[in-house]
Structure 1
Amino acid sequence: MKTHTHESGIEQALEVLKNYGFKYTKKRELLLTYLAKTNRYLPAREVYDALSQIYPNVSYDTIYRNLHDFSEIGIVEKTDLNGEMKFRFHCQLHGIGEHHHHFICSVCGETKELSYCPMSIFEDQLQGCKIEGHRFEIYGRCESCQK
């Protein structure tokens, strides 16, 4: 498995932002850095709480809009967990480039990569169809949240 530092993933993400016409700002870099370092699914409120410690005037709407925009261009992943949208730094920017899926803790948002893809089970049942994409996530409680 290829490994990246947080910094190289953030640099790649900032380059993607630039390519999509987003301006560089220190707040955006900090948002991406926070997501990269926590490396789990986070609610927008938690990201806002962390960033507002450094930038007291940043609004929740700005954080949420950036997280949503970043997910649209593929540098942030999002999932609906317990009726709330949660976000994490995209795995490929962490150096996890091969196809994989996630176990997601429904309490703390911690993720674990799963290397097995169950799609081969469905391909036989969908003869004549072309699968263009899929998403597979398993939800439960991590070791820490079971205690």
Structure 2
Amino acid sequence: MSIDEAWDILLKYDYKRTKNREILLRFFDEADRYVTAMEVRMAVERDNPGISFDTIYRNLAMFSKLGILDETELNGERLFRMQCATDHHHHHHFICTACGGTKSIPICPMDSVTVNLSEYEIEGHKFEIYGRCPKCKVG
């Protein structure tokens, strides 16, 4: 998702264009990986000293709710990244537990799982694989 697309969503839901939101969106646009709220705080404090953790966390939760950010949980901690490009291609991710980088997985395991759930109504799913990317497994 681009920053412009994110602003379109925010403005559609009557959220104001603020310096803090601009800084957060710019950070995620450049990060291209999953990050913790604390990593976000450390990075954006350079551009906006004194930004509160509450402000950051509140915006992360709102961005996630609106579909601007993807969210996952690893070791009991929430991680966030900019939503994938809006090509509407259904896919899943490998997530590096060391650097937070991702790799798209173009197939969906639901095709084989739904065979055993023919009488169930599936409302959604999420499939993620965790491990170390080639760059991180070397070290």
TM-score clears 0.5: yes
Equivalent of 2:120 in 124, 129, 133: 129
Residue in 1 aligned with 2:95?
A: 104
Equivalent of 1:36 in 11, 29, 37: 29
Q: Matched residues in 2 for 1:46 and 1:98: separation?
A: 29
TM-score scaled by structure 2? 0.94
Q: How many residues align?
A: 138
* Cα shift at 1:65: 1.0
* Cα shift at 1:97: 2.6
Residue in 2 aligned with 1:55?
A: 48
**Percent identical across equivalent pairs?**
47
Q: Which runs of 4+ in 1 moved over 3 A?
A: none
Instruction: Tell me: CA distance 1:96–1:109, structure 2 relative to 1, closer, same or farther (3 Å).
Output: farther
* Cα shift at 1:15: 1.0
Q: Secondary structure at the match of 1:97?
A: coil
Q: Secondary structure at the match of 2:45?
A: helix
List runs of 5+ in structure 1 lacking aligned partners: 1-5
Higher normalized helix content (fraction of residues): 1
List runs of 5+ in structure 2 lacking aligned partners: none
Report the RMSD for the aligned CA atoms in angstroms. Answer: 1.2
Q: Matched residues in 2 for 1:25 and 1:144: separation?
A: 36
Q: Matched residues in 2 for 1:35 and 1:78: separation?
A: 12
